Structure 1
């Protein structure tokens, strides 16, 4: 018996050292007792996997129904790509702690590389 939610969440990830050997529902449990299933359901690993799966499902629906999500969906592909490059440049300037004047320089470099920023 395996847990689909845990397999989907922990499939390529490694389980934390505190949980190693505790989640037999990843490899397949031969224990068919009701207590084994309820213990797994209450385990930290399963709760984390369930919370992550629920967050992924609700995020896409919430984004699509929000005003910002609707606005992004209505933009044309070229406008979306232009905004993507502008936000990427702004993120790079902020992430590296550079002065705001570097943003203009970075946009000029991006345009020199053949990207139309408008």
Structure 2
């Protein structure tokens, strides 16, 4: 009959216990890391989705380009031409017309 040893475990018992503790700690740490990564991925996906929804709501409606000023009659005075050029400059500064539209309208006003 074998006698059981009482007291502290031997070298093999200590190694076995250490292996179990280390394995458990590794498994728990892996689970925690996977859970945190899943939460981060879900949060990133939600933020991307909400960003896309915000972008869809914030897209500005296309603005029709402002019609260029009508060409002045041949007998118009310089005051009328200057007034039209000033209005075109204001439209350009306000961003309602771009450089190409401004140049085309200016050429019409000046009769070029």
TM-score, length-normalised on structure 1? 0.24
- Identify which of structures 1 and 2 has the higher relative contact order when contacts are C-alpha pairs closer than 8 Å and 6+ apart: 2
TM-score, length-normalised on structure 2? 0.25
